[in-house]
Amino acid sequence: MSENHKEKGDLGEDFVNELAFNSFVKYWCFPNPKDENGDKKEISDLLILFENICIIISVKNYTFKGDHKRYFKNTIDKAIRQIYGAERKLFNSSHKITFIHPERGVYNFDPDDYTKIFRVIINLGEGELFYLIGSDEQKKEFINIFNKEAFLVLTNELDTISDFIEYLEKREELFKTKDVIMLSGPDEDYTDEANIEFLEYSTKRDFRNRKSITITGTEKDLLAHYFLFKRDFSSIVKSDEYTGLWLDIEGEWDNYFSNKKVAAKKEEDRISYFIDNLVKREILSLENGHIFAKILFSFNRFERRMIAKTFYNFYEKFNPKASRDYFMAKRYTEVKDWGLVCFIYAEDISDEINEFAMELAIDGFAHWTKYKMKNIFCLAVRHNMSQFKFMYKEIIPFSDEKLRQVQEDCKKINWFQNITTTPYSEKEYPE
């Protein structure tokens, strides 16, 4: 490999890594992991490992020189082999796979931890007029294919693991049994030669006797289509009643962003980044902070907005009172399948007393809600945000003895004696 070619490849990987680090946090991203217990060779360009999810990414940065056949051979075909090779090594090796994370150090990969595998090719070379948006060549698993613009947009708009994975799942489910080509170039660039090249490439799909879709537009337009149909795709595209479909969604992205509701959503989402910043600045540096970070990062952007709004409304109401001696306040809400306790405490409360009170708040809400939620997370803040504390408990029904103790402790500080509830609703796209 020439030095110029290697440098270009490295620049491409740096571009992808930076986007991934910003959106999904470097803690769960493994750039260029090498098989330390085996051949020391690079497993993939990038791995993202979060909860039970493994995303294997291959990055290609070849220059498009007007020949789609050669371009796809040097990018897609090669990347497909690399993806399957990485998957074999990770999930079928006879030895234990260990690699080094730039911040976490030695990481022992356990294939049993990952029940969802996503395969992604990011093709950074620009100028192609059409490309496959996915592949399951060799009758193997589906591989998502994105160009540079597509990956940039996706990591900006779907900048949580939950949002990104949901899109990959829906996209994969829709296209895994179809052959899909996206016409991404402007009309004026489709010369006679380019049109012939497209027709030759397109007609090769027929031998598999599968449904085919040709999309006019870009991945941005496809993402707008997905948002338009409430995080899904239209019934026409999902239908099984056609053998070939031409879907014209060109301009959907611009139409989507011209909608006032979308602008309002963007504005409302700003507060949600409180959660992202809290994880990066306060949580990951703590001992076992990755446990708390994983909980908060399991929420999508809309859910983070709801959590942040609940927390700030609570904080603004009780922070003036928290300047009093030994003041504590609590609030409870439910987001997805989690209970969330917001907690504020005065400056003069010791860590020991504060942690006891946080746990008592969790226990009190667990009993009061009749153990509805199996997990409760507590986000606590000291007056004037001079300190944050976090606590998480798996909830099981209390024994009679435990219940008596919780009730007794609550009664001593007049907690859970007269509970009030306040209805709360939030729309992802405000009216």
Residue 307 zone, left/alpha/beta (φ > 0; ψ -120 to 50; rest): alpha
Is the pLDDT confidence value at 379 over 90? yes
- Partnered with residue 379 across adjacent β-strands are 342, 390
pLDDT one-digit tens code per residue, 127-174: 777 777 787 655 568 899 998 889 999 999 999 999 999 999 999 998
> If you average pLDDT over every residue of the chain, what do you get?
89
pLDDT number for residue 128: 77
pLDDT one-digit tens code per residue, 175-229: 888 878 887 766 555 555 555 565 666 555 544 556 788 888 999 999 999 999 9
pLDDT number for residue 133: 79
Q: What confidence tier does 2 reach under pLDDT thresholds 50, 70, 90? A: very low
Task: Of 2-6, 23-27, 46-50, 401-405, give the lowest mean pLDDT range.
Answer: 2-6
Tokens at 23, concatenated: 């959106």
Angle 3-24/148-157 helices, nearest 10 degrees? 20
pLDDT one-digit tens code per residue, 78-113: 898 999 999 999 999 999 999 999 889 999 999 999
Name the residue with higher pLDDT: 209 or 329: 329
pLDDT one-digit tens code per residue, 112-125: 999 999 999 998 87
Biggest distance spanned by C-alpha atoms of the chain:
84
| pLDDT, average across residues 264-272 | 97
Q: Which amino acid is at 70?
A: R
Residue indicated by tokens 């969802």: 116
Tokens at 24, concatenated: 């999904």
Domain 3-258: state its class: alpha beta
pLDDT number for residue 253: 95
pLDDT number for residue 6: 52
- Domain ranges (residues) in the chain: 3-258, 272-412
> Contact at 8 Å (CB) between 45 and 32?
yes
pLDDT one-digit tens code per residue, 52-87: 999 999 999 888 777 777 777 778 888 989 999 999
pLDDT number for residue 207: 43
